[in-house]
Structure 1
Amino acid sequence: MSAEWVLQRLEQDAHATLGELRDPKGNRLCWTLENAWRNNERRVSRIPAGRYRVILRDFGSWNDRLAARFPAIHRGAIELIDVPGRSAILIHPGNYHTDTLGCILPGQIKGRGPDDSLAVLQSGAAYAAIYPRLVDLAQSAGHIRVRDEREKTHGGTAL
């Protein structure tokens, strides 16, 4: 069976959703930032909760930008596929909800943006740190399970 990581959504404000990306052992790899829920509309909404396969995408403007920014490690953009009603859902650097365009942004620190909305900081460093493991996940036909509700073991509630 292929590996499965979990993106656990934790908090939402009017603009953004903060979460954490965890490996199969439950270790937090980074914080995540997505848009707030806006009925799964392209480029302005986070994706629906679900289980999505991870692949390497070797074309497109983000692939080119990431190859230029991270030439020593880049093997393709990280994409989640088979998202209902959506395409080109990438994991890429960015700090604020205005950077997401429906994608997932990693960060080493959770924070606030210029408009006081949820944000992640040190995104480039977080991306570089998790990228080799994301490549391994993609090459092993792995998945990321996106969850809106916190697991009972964490004592949380739904978003």
Structure 2
Amino acid sequence: MRDIEWTLQRLEQDAHATLGELRDPQGNRLCWTLENRWRNNERRVSRIPAGRYRVIFQPVLGGWHARLAARFPAIHHRPIELADVPGRSAILIHPGNFHTDTLGCILPGQIKMRGPDDSLAVGQSGAAYVAIYPRLADLANAGGFIRVRDELSKTHGGTAI
């Protein structure tokens, strides 16, 4: 059986954030994504390196679990995490709209927009989370992966994989 793999395709970045889109194996966009811009993989302020990461349920429950369970009791089981990220841990997919919300994680959104500081942002993040969480949970249960791809030039901190 072939591994199930989604793609997070990074598309553009500005001084603060990176905008991308999350796609299923058939190439359908599931949501927009927002991450920090590249800052040498520094914890809590940088996006993660491009690569292929296993999707798991967060093994150690922290504050995000309580927040998400309270906000989305009908769907939330455990936070979704990308595992085996070099030099990093606890890379979650969770709601948020602006680069100040990412903390090095990945934010889903239904629309792309600009934040109060005119940086890249996503909107309707809670609705996007509700829409993709059940599929992310299925992906985690199936032992699936997300391949993070950069189409950004190296001068902007990207590497193509």
Identify the TM-score tier after normalising by the shorter chain. Answer: over 0.9
- Equivalent position SS for 1:34: strand
Of 97, 100, 103, 2:99 maps to 97
**How many Å apart are 1:68 and its aligned residue?**
0.7
Distance 1:11 1:32 in 2: 11
Alignment partner of 1:132 out of 131, 134, 148:
134
Q: How many residues align?
A: 151
Where 1:42 maps in the other structure, the secondary structure is coil
Cα deviation 1:82-116 (Å, max 9, x = unaligned): 00000000000000000000000000000000000
Q: CA deviation at 1:57?
A: 1.6
Aligned match of 1:119: 121
**CA displacement, residues 46-90 of structure 1 (integer Å, 9 cap, x when unaligned):** 000000000012511101111111111111100000000000000
- In structure 1, the residue corresponding to 2:148 is in which secondary structure? strand
Match of residue 144, structure 1, among 139, 143, 146: 146
- If the length of structure 1 is used for normalisation, what is the TM-score? 0.93
Counterparts of 1:129 and 1:40 in 2: how far apart (Å)?
29
RMSD: 1.0
- Please give the alpha-carbon distance, in whole angstroms, between the structure 2 residues aligned to 1:2 and 1:129: 22
Partner letter of residue 13 of structure 1? D
Q: How does 1:20-99 map to 2 (within 5 A)?
A: 20-57=21-58, 59-99=61-101
* Residue aligning to 1:14: 15
Give 1:27 shift. 0.1
Give structure 1 stretches of 5+ with no counterpart.
151-157
User: What percent identity do the matched residue pairs reach?
Assistant: 82
Unaligned runs of 5+ in 2: 153-159
Q: How far did residue 2 of structure 1 move?
A: 2.3
